[in-house]
Each structure stands twice: as C-alpha cells, then as structure tokens.
Chains A and B, each alone.
Chain A
Amino acid sequence: MAPVGPRSGDAIFSSIDRVNAELFTLTYGAIVRQLLTDLEEVEEVNKQLDQMGYNIGIRLIDEFLAKSGVSRCVDFKETAEMIAKVGFKMFLGVTASVSSWDADGTCCSIILEDFPILAKVFTTAMS
C-alpha cells in the first residue's frame, strides 16, 4: 500500500489528546519552584532542567516520528525547520520560526511568539 506522507503540525495537534495549558504552565512552575527550593543554585537548577528536558526528548522523538511520518532530514537546516514548524506545533500548539543562522549553518535561533509558560512568569525589579 502507498506510504502515508508527512502530516502537518496542525493536523496532528488536533488529532491527539491534549491537556489544559494552564495545568501545564502551573505544573511546570511548581517543578521549577521545587527545584529552586531543593537545589538553591540557579546553575544547578538549570542543569537539572536540561537533564530533564533531554530525558523527555529521547522519548518524544519516537512519538514525533510515529505521528508525523517524516523521513530522515538531509541537513541541520532541515532539522531546525522540522522542529520549529512541525515539532513545536504538534506538542505545544505554538508556531516557531528559525532565524539568525551563522556562517557555517551550525547554529541558529528558534523564536517562539506567545509561549504559554511565560504567561505566568513574574520577574522582580531590583530597587
């Protein structure tokens, strides 16, 4: 039978189960708060969050490949586009854009407008 072509981020996002964005934001906030209480050092907390993100990522990639049906990317540029356009859309429902490529094409920025988690962040002003 004919292989299924890659699906768009929107199509996948609407077809899978979702949780409330508020729940997600507040849960994440609670995790960060707890880590800060436990570890106290911002550096340590960031390291821990990075490790958690990595562990989540290695499980997420299979779901991404299974649901989107994309094939191997040819180069890093394509990988970045795939993450920004399909990945973020599929898992978080946000659109991201890729920019600021360096000369080698090895480094770029992924810009997110309206990131749900940031809605609840308050920064203190130092007087």
Chain B
Amino acid sequence: KTSSPRCYIVTVYPAPGPVPKDQVRLYSMRFCPFAQRTSLVLHAKGIKFETINIHLKQKPDWFLEKNPEGLVPLIETPAGEVVNESVITSEFLDEMYPEKKLLPATPFGKAQQKMMLEHFSKITPHLFKISSAKRKGDDVSGLEAELKEKFTNLNEHLVKKKTKFFGGDTVTFIDYMMWPFFERLGMFEVQHCLDHTPELKKWTERMLEDPAVKAIMHSTEDHKTFYNNFLDGKPDFDYGL
C-alpha cells in the first residue's frame, strides 16, 4: 500500500528534492526499532509516504542540515517541516492525519497511553544492557530477573483490563510503540523471560497478525545477523537487499 521505493543507501547521493505534495517522507534505517515505531504508524494509518534510508555511520551532509542530531526516524512534510524522535513523530502523524486514530480522543485516554509508554521506556534500556552484558560473558541473571518483573507488570495490566491489546480490544498507539522491542526478543535472547507471562505472550501473537506489523517486520534471524554486525562495528544497513 505504501509508495516507498526500493530501499537504497544514501551516502553520496545528492539531496532529495522537496517532499511531494500528497505525502510525507520518512528518513529511516531498516533495522532501527525506533524508526519502526514511526513506520508502523504510517502503515497503520494508511498514510502515503516515501522512505529514504540513511547510512548511520556516514550520514549525508544534507541530512545533518535538516536534522543536526542526525538521528532516525525523521519525518519531513511537503512544507519542509521536520520532526524527529520516534514518539514525537508518531504523535505528530496521528494528529496530522485524522483517519484511523491511534490515540484515544479523551485527554485521560491519551494520558493513560503516555503513562504506559513512560513505564515501557524503563524496559528498553534493559534489553540493550542484557545483550551487551551477555556478549562480554557477564552474569545476566540479575538483569533478567528485573526484566521478568517488568514483563510481569505488563502481563498484570492485560489480566486486569481483560483486553486483547494494551489500550483496548484493537491495536492502538501504545501497542505500536512497544512492538519493535518485542519483535527483537529473540535477537536479544530473552524470549524465555516471557515464560510466566501468558497474556503478554498472547499479545505478541496477536500483534504478529496485525497488517502493519506484518508489512515491515524482520525475522529473528535477520535481526540477529544485523545486530551482531552492528555490535561488531560493521553494520550492514542494507542487509537483505
């Protein structure tokens, strides 16, 4: 459904032109979990967009001019407005494009999603810490125990609410914000941390059925290959192309 062209590395390519009038542009990297959040929102809302993937070790000058921090994801509009940060871009898109709202309409509903996201933001550093500790051969049992506790809290939320997803019985904003990290549990080698959280496991299975998730996901194998190359200092941003 997207109009995204074949992905290409842009290092010495000249600056792309302005964003065509009827779409937005996503600057991304195919394996970045944060950029995946924005991509999920674009797909879920059926927004017309094009993707330009950025070589994160050799960032084009024109990219740094648009966005001095040089991070992906970045959204650019036809008016030349530039928005960065995965959560900020996702909210921006949900507000800009009224069809298929991902955030609830009420102020409290929105606040609830943001509070859940704040909780979840404490989980992501754990995943990276665990995998980097494992690589060094350190003992990760303490970190894994903490991760399991956090997963238990998430599980309890689903048990209490009795809903299929975190914001209700359909996929909403918070589910997409969390998903990229759950897609990588195999890559982080922490799938076993879901062993005692059956509702959370079922949530991951439901997410795997979501069209936006299916449209852009990578297999655990591909994630592992990319991540290992990345950690070895030799990222292959075009892996699989």
A binds B: no
Residues of B within 8 A of A (CB): none
